[in-house]
Every structure is written in C-alpha cells, then in structure tokens.
Amino acid sequence: MNFDFSDQEKLIRDQTGRFLGDNCKSEEVRRVLEGNDSYARELWSGLANMGLMATAIPEAYGGVGGGYLGLCVIAEQLGAHLAPVPMSSSIYLAAEAITLYGDESQKETWLPKLATGETIGTLAAVETVQEMTPESINVESDGKTISGTKLIVPDGGIADIAVVLARSTDGLSMFIVDLNEGAVSRTNVDTVDPSKNSASITFNGAPAELLGEAGNGWSMLQDIYDRAAVLFAFEQIGGAQKVLDMAVDYAKQRFAFGRPIGSFQGLKHMMADMYVALKLAESNCFYAAWALANNAADLSTAAATARVSATQAFQLCSRDNIQVHGGMGFTWEVDCHLFYRRSNYLTLVLGGLSVWENRLIESLSASKAA
C-alpha cells in the first residue's frame, strides 16, 4: 500500500500553486467578480501554456495522457486560488463527456482544442429551479437540431461548445452543440459567485450532434457527474485549506483584551474543528482520486464520499473564517466573502449536499446488492 501522491504529482501541484500565486491574486478574481471581464483570459492562456488542460486528455487527441491524479492536484490549486477560469466546465465536464462517449471523429474534432484551451466547453443540463430529475428536462431534439432553454449553464456565457442533455425520440440523450453557430442566444445570469460566469442558453433549432448512445443520456450524466465530483471535491479542499490558513494567520495577529484572539479557546476550538473537517475530506479525496485514476469498482461511492465531505469542509471553513475575522470578515474589501461565495457555488453547481448524500446512500445500497 502507498497512499500518497507521487513526487511527480507533488511537483505539478507546487508548480501550479506557484503559477497561480503569481498570476491569480485576489485582484484578478475581483476583476471578474466586479464584472470587468467574464473570465481571466490571460490566466487561462497561461494555464494552457503549462499544458494543464491537457493533463488527463489522451495523447492520441492532443493531450498529455498523464492521468487523473495530476488533474486532482491541479484542481486543488485552482480551488485554493479561486481561479476564475472555466476549467471545471471545459475539462472536468465537457472533455470528460467527449472522452468517455465521443466517437472517433468527435474526439478528433474537439479534444485537441479543449486540450489547448482555445475551445471552451461546458455541460448544459439544468432547466428549472427545482432539483433536477429526468422529467424536468424539456429541451428537445429531433436528432439533428435542438430547441429549448437551459436555465443556468456554468460558464455558459463564455463556452464555445456545450454537451447538452435533451429529450429525443429515444428518451434523454446527450448532444454536442457548437454555441458559436447561429440559433443560439445566451444571457448571463447573476449568481452567488459572480467570479464564475453563468448564463442561460436558448437553442432555436441549433445544429446538434448525438453524443454516445441515444436514450442513454441520464445514465451518462450520472457517470460524468461521478467523475467530475472528485475534481470538484479537490477544488473544495483547496479552498478550505486556504481559508483555514487565513483564519489562523488573522487570529495570530489580531489582539483583543490584551491578547491575540487566537489564544481564546472559543476560536481555537472552532479552528480545530475546521481542521478536522478538512482532514477527513482530504483523506476521502485521496481515496477518490485513486478510485478515479484506476476506474475502481467503488468509484461512485468514493466520489460521493469525497464530494459530501469536501462540501461540508469548505462550507464550514469558509463560514467560520468570516467569524474569526469579525467585522472585517463582512467587508467587500477583505477576501473572506470570495471564498464564502465560491464554497456555495461549488456546493450547488453539481447538485447540492442533499443530492450527493442521496447519491452516496444509493451507491452504498447498489454495491451491497451487487
């Protein structure tokens, strides 16, 4: 048994962290947050130059074929620095969907461009403000074109292509749609985390190409979500570690009643609990990374476990980081709210905590029945 990342993977983590430390400071996040840009374009090209988008994409399609463990540590750093780039939509979701289900020509067309970052992809599924169910999907396809509205699509305002879940004659199916062709209109929507672009997209008979087996869309979506959940969880623990560090640093410097506030047990114990939640999540993420990289039989359970505990950890840490900062923590100027926003965005963007708790129990029951 060896339950740790390799030196190579640690190197990728450190290099990514250093690059983001230099190029993704809080001003960069705020530029997008305050509406001066829809994502950090230069940062995105910088990450592309480092080859990070290509990490897990197969070599045959312009990727590095380096596997998922590398992508996990990259995700952790993106989360730690709140990188306002469409990595999750383009790579964890769109590129994954095409890698898993695309035919040869679809892979040849899209993966090399996603790998260099010149094309941005996303996944368009959600149509209502209620929990997503198969019945809630009404965007329709005749097999060649697609019509209807996706209410909220992560990075939908900046993506070039979307993998779209739609209703066809065979039931729910996945389609690839080029968003830059006509018959697509998009409107950016306000969200709790404006440092990430979100848009609603309406298709009016837009050309669409079937991805994978017709009628299999819902179950494909679940598999894509399982795999993406591991990477989202790494972004979450990256963010959680960062806010815990912020809280500890502040608590050592700020004085009240003649002593550092970090010497008050009320705060010490709160931060100890943040640490505990983070450690549990981190260890579960390690296991899920292994399961993802090895396509393990218990990937669904491992992914949901990592996702639930990482969601809990980032939510707790970002919330209590504000508490440690007192009034300063509630200002626009101090970065606490950036993490608070991102933690809630990351919680909801792939289906919320209750959805993943439910998936976890489902997968535990399924593995027991098998």
Q: List residues binding other proteins (CB under 8 A).
A: 1-6, 69, 244, 248, 251-252, 259-260, 262-263, 265, 267-269, 271-273, 275-276, 279-281, 283-284, 286-287, 289-290, 293, 304-305, 308-309, 312, 354, 356-358, 360-361, 364-365, 368
Which of 232, 234, 189 lies closest to 96, judged by CA? 232
For residue 184, how many other CB atoms are within 10 A of its CB?
18
Give the shortest CB-368-to-other proteins separation in angstroms: 8
Beta carbon nearer to other proteins, 9 or 28 = 9
Beta carbon nearer to other proteins, 101 or 356 = 356
Beta carbon nearer to other proteins, 149 or 323 = 323
Which of 202, 112, 193 lies closest to 156, judged by CA? 202
Please say whether the dihedral angle defined by the alpha carbons of residues 167, 89, 336 and 33, taken in this order, is positive or negative.
negative
Beta carbon nearer to other proteins, 1 or 129 = 1
| H-run or E-run covering 253 | helix 217-253
> Exposed, middle or buried, 190 (CB in 10 Å: 0-12/13-18/19+)?
exposed
> Exposed, middle or buried, 64 (CB in 10 Å: 0-12/13-18/19+)?
middle
Give the shortest CB-281-to-other proteins separation in angstroms: 7
Beta carbon nearer to other proteins, 2 or 36 = 2
Beta carbon nearer to other proteins, 255 or 332 = 255
What whole-number distance in Å separates Cα of residue 30 and Cα of residue 32?
Answer: 5
For residues 322 and 337, is the Cβ–Cβ distance under 8 A? yes
Alpha-carbon distance values, 200 to 32, 92, 154, 286 (Å): 18, 20, 9, 34
Ramachandran quadrant class, 329 (left: phi over 0; alpha: psi -120 to 50; beta: rest): alpha
φ, ψ at 189 (rounded to 5°) = -120, 150
Give the shortest CB-308-to-other proteins separation in angstroms: 5
Beta carbon nearer to other proteins, 159 or 229 = 229
Give the shortest CB-295-to-other proteins separation in angstroms: 13
Those residues with Cβ within 8 angstroms of residue 129's Cβ, 6 or more apart along the chain or in another chain = 151
Give the shortest CB-236-to-other proteins separation in angstroms: 13
What whole-number distance in Å separates Cα of residue 370 and Cα of residue 337?
Answer: 44
Which of 150, 97, 145 lies closest to 127, judged by CA? 150
Beta carbon nearer to other proteins, 12 or 93 = 12
Give the shortest CB-133-to-other proteins separation in angstroms: 15
Q: Which residue has the tokens 């260890």?
A: 283
Give the shortest CB-200-to-other proteins separation in angstroms: 29
* Alpha carbon 53 to its chain's center: 13
Give the shortest CB-46-to-other proteins separation in angstroms: 28
* Secondary structure (3-state) at 25: coil
Give the shortest CB-120-to-other proteins separation in angstroms: 30
Give the shortest CB-355-to-other proteins separation in angstroms: 11
Beta carbon nearer to other proteins, 144 or 252 = 252
Alpha-carbon distance values, 54 to 5, 92, 253 (Å): 19, 11, 41
Beta carbon nearer to other proteins, 105 or 265 = 265
